[in-house]
A and B are shown apart, each in its own frame.
Chain A
Amino acid sequence: MLNVLLNRLKQGHRTSGYPKHAITMPECYRGRPTVEASKCRAGCNACVLACPTSAVTKNPLKIDLGQCLFCGRCAEACQERAVSFTRDHRLSANTREALVVTGVEPTLTAPLPRKPRGLFRHSFKLRQVSAGGCNACEADLSVLQIVTFDMFRFGLSWVASPRHADAVVVTGPVTTNMAMALEETYKAVPAPKLVIAVGACAISGGPYKGAPDSRGIPTEKMPIDLFIPGCPPHPYTMLDGILRLLGRIK
């Protein structure tokens, strides 16, 4: 017991000051990309060819964050620096369209309308369903529980039963064999309920777009309220998205 306490003292306080204090991402981190079509060389298609998931398209030049893996190969290929990545971790969006970057100004997630927001603001329970996710998104969602990120201080937590949940957090491209389990889980969540799509696979199929057994989230049955892009998104990107949706960060 004494050893535990001694070790506890040595460990110190490890919870980040986020969101009160801004966080700085390391230099190598690739966050929100910026696009300046005016810099493009006529006839150049290097960024489009370099992208492994066809997230970059031209005429006009744009990047779909829903498909983007943030690998930076497009920026590497672009000699004119028409495409570059900033260290801004705020990437989430309320709609699929808002994930398409065509300029340099970020579009941030807007808070939910007052009606369900009041219910969720200080207690928001999440049921995670991995539907073909490779375990990178799952691992970085799970990490929100550790002392560094400490999701509990915002009233956020993972719950075991969909009956206790306010939102379903989906990862993965939704495989044939998981399609039914995902829908059943969603049906079991009491209304009002939200759907949060995390990672390139859940949003667009990502690397698995068009794969024989990837189906995507059936949005006609379960409309998505928050899109958190990345491969996987950084834990701060996830926190930022959820807290903005709840109106806890302005």
Chain B
Amino acid sequence: MAVTNNSAACAPAQANNLAHKHILETSNGLAVPMSKLPVVSIDLFRSTVLAACKSGARLTSLLSLPAESVQCHGETLLAVLADDKGGTLGLIGGELPASREYQSLTQEYTAAQAFERELYELHGIVPLDHPWCKPLRRHSDLERTSNSRDGRAAPEHPFYRIEGDGIHEVAVGPVHAGVIEPGHFRFQCFGETVLSLEIQLGYQHRGAEALLLSSTPARRLVVAETIAGETAIGHGLAHCIALEGLGGAEPSLYAETLRGVALGLERCANHIGDLGALCNDVGFLPGGSWFGRLRGEYLNLSLDLCGNRFGHGFLKVGGIRFGLSAAQRKDFLVRLAKAAKDVKSIAELTFDTPSIGARFERTGIVSRELAEELGLVGPAARASGCDRDVRRDHPCGLYRFAHIPVATIESGDVMARALVRWLETERSSRFMCEQIEQLQEDKLAVEVPSPRPSHLVVSLVEAWRGEVVHVAATDATGKLAVYKVTDPSLHNWFGLAMSLRGNQISDFPLCNKSFNLSYAGHDL
């Protein structure tokens, strides 16, 4: 395939939400020269971003570009907007005033809340009149941590509290009862009913973004793969697409296809694991133990593909490290078919069981309006009727040639999130079989030139939890100067908190599993 990542190939302005003179259009994985980035005053930036979001675009990333990376401008906010219908991404820069303050977007566009809290935490940029400008990860009650460039300790910011007769508070974590990652949950309850849940994360913050900038290329990829360990392919792929875009190279279709297969294996393994966990949480043990066993079948396919159950080490910038031999292809097809048959039989048994229906239905409802407002992504959004999937809306690699139907359900409850997982497992499983059958052997990887100087790229991958976004930019010498990672969990944690309102506290585990979000991916 020819190299298409040419900056001149920027999509022409179409009649869509992003056609605006201050918005630079690009697409998934397509690098653009930094000099073309429109940088406007912060007020114009704000009104342009809000107008685009009101007309249907989504804010997929919001970050700060240091002054040295934006030519002729000072420190600049960069908004990455996604137009899902048009399949384009929009970039716009807003130059920060000397005071480093601006009127927050969150006041009018709720989905920006986490991004703005992060800007405040990392860079001390103040989004004025933000309704809850609490640092996302930095803890005020612990010692100063380094996720602040200026080394400031986090300001005091108490937990949200409701007071009154009969109101009580329940605190859980950071160390949880099971074998899971740490986080702190504060429930404000009236009897059994949860009035409000606040989720305090940050315990997993280890400095991944800083490492991505300072590491050698080989180490960068392993850091990307461990941003969220069960999303190794999702984050690893986003990293590869970003660097391939910056360098201007395109992997072979063979490599792209097997990347798609690896992403599918990751999706199936995790979705099935979640279905098992949901069954366990309502005491339906047959589902719990059999889904648990079947998850292993997909992990073992990953192991056979690349030597690691989670796909660590499979990817390479420019392609992949391991192919599938003819014998392996045959074996994969047989095993995928067998696993799909087993999943179907257990899923039917599970969803036909009345006690499952009684517990899953009408529990933890997130309405479509709320999902849109919070900017939810992935299966959690699709279970609330939001029809969005990066594989279809912003196709890159394999998905430009092969399509996978998007599964949406309207009810927004635990049942919907469980059913979306089952549907996606079935569709991914079929998709993987089709792709393996048509596989044409070719080069595993192509040589990727060093990143072009002063370029900017956005890569999006629909991982099993939803949209993974990596934004990377190089300085004038071609060195990575900016690297921003957004895990789907950043958007969806708020969805979990809202889903619990009005539900019983005993439904928390169930709601939590139905989202199954990443702590490490959020905390970075």
Q: Does B232 contact A (CB under 8 A)?
A: yes
Kindly state the separation between the CA atoms of A173 and B290 in the bound complex, as whole angstroms: 33
The interface stretch among A26-34, A109-117, A217-225, A241-249 is: A26-34
Do B307 and A28 have beta carbons less than 8 Å apart? yes
Inter-chain CA distance A51–B226, complex, in Å, is: 16
Beta-carbon contact of A207 and B219 below 8 Å: yes
**B520 interface residue per 8 A CB criterion:** yes
- Asked if residues A207 and B304 are in contact (CB atoms below 8 Å), the reply is no
Q: Which of B308-316, B385-393, B470-478 contacts A (4 or more CB under 8 A)?
A: B308-316
A95 interfacial contact with B, CB 8 Å:
no
User: Measured between alpha carbons, how far is A199 from B211 in the docked complex, in Å?
Assistant: 19
Task: Give which listed residue, B202, B223, B296, B352, contacts A146 with CB less than 8 A.
Answer: B296
Partner of A214, one of B147, B175, B206: B206
Does A36 belong to the interface (CB within 8 Å)?
no
Contacts of B222 in A (CB 8 A): 52-53, 69, 71, 207, 231
Q: Which of A130, A161, A207, A212 meets B226, CB within 8 Å?
A: A207
Indicate if B181 sits at the interface (CB-CB under 8 A): yes
CB within 8 Å of B: which of A149-203? Answer: 158, 160-161, 172-173, 175-178, 180-181, 185, 201
Q: Is A24 engaged at the interface, CB distance under 8 Å to the other chain?
A: no
Q: Does A131 contact B (CB under 8 A)?
A: yes
Query: How many angstroms between the C-alpha atoms of A69 and B216 in the bound complex?
Result: 16
- CB neighbours (8 Å) of B143 from chain A are 176
Say which one of A38-46, A58-66, A96-104, A132-140 lies at the interface with B: A132-140
Q: Is residue A70 within 8 Å, beta carbon to beta carbon, of the partner chain?
A: yes
Q: Is the CB of B309 within 8 A of A234?
A: yes
Give the number of residues in B that approach A within 8 Å (Cβ atoms): 66
Contact assessment for A133 and B205 in the assembled complex, using a CB-CB cutoff below 8 Å: no
Within 8 A of A (CB), among B188-215: 202-208, 210-211
Given contacts A30-B307, A129-B175, A176-B146, contact A138 B180 (CB under 8 A): yes
Is B506 engaged at the interface, CB distance under 8 Å to the other chain?
Answer: no
> Is A8 an interface position by the 8 A CB rule?
yes
CB-based contact B208/A211 at 8 Å: yes
Identify which of residues 49-65 in chain B touch chain A, using a CB-to-CB cut-off of 8 Å.
none
Which residues of B (40-77) have their CB < 8 Å from a CB of A? none
- Contact digits for B225-251, partner A, Cβ 8 Å, 1 yes 0 no: 111111010000000000000000000
* Interface 1/0 per residue, B57-100 and A, CB below 8 Å: 00000000000000000000000000000000000000000000
Q: What is the bound-complex CA distance between A146 and B303, given in angstroms?
A: 18
Q: Is the CB of B181 within 8 A of A133?
A: yes
Q: Is B438 an interface residue (CB 8 A)?
A: no
Task: Enumerate chain B residues within 8 angstroms of A128, measured Cβ to Cβ.
Answer: 178-179
Query: Is B312's CB under 8 angstroms from A213's CB?
Result: no
A18 to B345, CA, bound (A): 28
Most chain B CB inside 10 Å of its own CB: which residue of A27, A30, A130, A201: A130
User: Which residues from A are CB-within-8-Å of B208?
Assistant: 208, 211
A142 CB–B CB distance under 8 Å: yes
Contacts of A211 in B (CB 8 A): 206-208, 210-211
Residues of the B chain whose Cβ atoms lie less than 8 Å from the Cβ of A71:
222, 308, 312-313
Say yes or no: A176 contacts B345, CB within 8 Å. no
A215 CB, nearest partner CB in chain B, Å: 9
- Residues of A contacting B306 with CB < 8 Å? 28
Is there contact, CB below 8 Å, between B178 and A176?
no
B435 touches A (CB below 8 Å): no
Closest to A159 in B: B177
Q: Is B292 within 8 A of A147, CB to CB?
A: yes
Cβ distance A163 to chain B, nearest Cβ, rounded Å: 13
Q: Which residues of chain A are near B210, meaning CB under 8 Å? A: 211-212
Quick one: closest A residue to B305, CB to CB? A28
- Are B304 and A160 in contact, CB atoms less than 8 angstroms apart? no
B226 smallest CB distance to A (angstroms): 4
A175 nearest CB neighbor, chain B only: B206
With A160-B177, A181-B175 known as contacts, the answer to whether A208 contacts B182 (CB < 8 A) is no
Partner of B181, one of A29, A138, A146: A138
A134, B228: Cβ atoms closer than 8 Å: yes
> Chain B 289-327 against A: per-residue CB contact (8 Å), 1 yes, 0 no?
110110110001001111111101100000001100000
* Interface check A141, CB cutoff 8 A: yes
Q: Does A121 contact B (CB under 8 A)?
A: no
Minimum CB–CB distance from B296 to chain A (whole Å) comes to 6
B-side contacts of A134, CB under 8 Å: 226-229, 520
Q: Report the nearest B residue to A139, measured CB to CB.
A: B230
Pick the residue among B139, B313, B523 that contacts A72 (CB under 8 A). Answer: B313
Report whether B174 and A181 are in contact in the complex, using a CB–CB cutoff of 8 Å.
Answer: yes
* Alpha-carbon gap, A175 to B204, bound state (A): 6
How distant is the Cα of A142 from the Cα of B312 in the complex, in angstroms?
A: 19
Q: Is the CB of A178 within 8 A of B203?
A: yes
Specify which chain A residues have a CB less than 8 angstroms from the CB of B180 in the assembled complex.
130, 135, 138, 142
- A140 contacts which chain B residues (CB < 8 A)? 309
In the assembled complex, the Cα of A70 lies from the Cα of B303 at a distance in Å of 12
Q: Which residue of A lies closest to B270 (CB)?
A: A139
User: Could you give 26 example pairs across A and B, Cβ below 8 Å?
Assistant: A3-B352, A8-B286, A51-B218, A69-B313, A76-B321, A129-B175, A129-B182, A130-B182, A131-B182, A132-B206, A133-B229, A135-B181, A136-B226, A139-B310, A142-B180, A143-B296, A160-B178, A175-B206, A176-B143, A181-B175, A181-B203, A207-B211, A207-B222, A211-B211, A212-B206, A231-B226
B residues neighboring A (CB under 8 Å): 137, 139, 142-143, 145-147, 174-175, 177-182, 202-208, 210-211, 216, 218-219, 221-223, 225-230, 232, 273, 286, 289-290, 292-293, 295-296, 300, 303-310, 312-313, 321-322, 345-346, 349, 352, 518-520, 523
Q: What 8 A-B pairs come out closest when comparing CB atoms?
A: A136-B229, A134-B229, A160-B177, A212-B207, A71-B313, A212-B146, A146-B292, A211-B207
What 8 additional pairs, Cβ within 8 angstroms, besides A132-B206, A160-B177, A208-B208? A7-B349, A11-B290, A52-B216, A135-B180, A148-B296, A185-B175, A211-B206, A232-B229
